[in-house]
Amino acid sequence: MTPVTTERAEGVVFQALIDLVEDESLVRSETTFEELKIDSLDLVEVQQIVEEELGIRLLREDLKELRTVGDVVTLVVGRA
């Protein structure tokens, strides 16, 4: 399995979010989920994609603490 680098984690997380939002130009590390209009169900979908694509398991409790796109990437890399 390919190692999970920051760049790889960003690619998977960004693509998952781009598929969920209307304006993909808003998907940046500093963007909040509120700005993207991402709700908890959308985050569960991102969680599933991260697990399928990268083999990294994120807990639902973890998702409650996340506020920005960068927070997700940091969590994924930390769990790798």
pLDDT in tens, 41-69: 999 999 999 999 999 999 989 888 899 99
> HSE (CB half, 13 Å, CA atoms) of 60?
6
Burial 18-56 (b: 16+ CB within 10 A, else e): eebbeeeeebeeebebeebebeeebbeebbebbeebbeb
Average pLDDT, the chain: 94
pTM (two decimals): 0.92
* Span between the terminal Cα atoms of the chain, in Å: 12
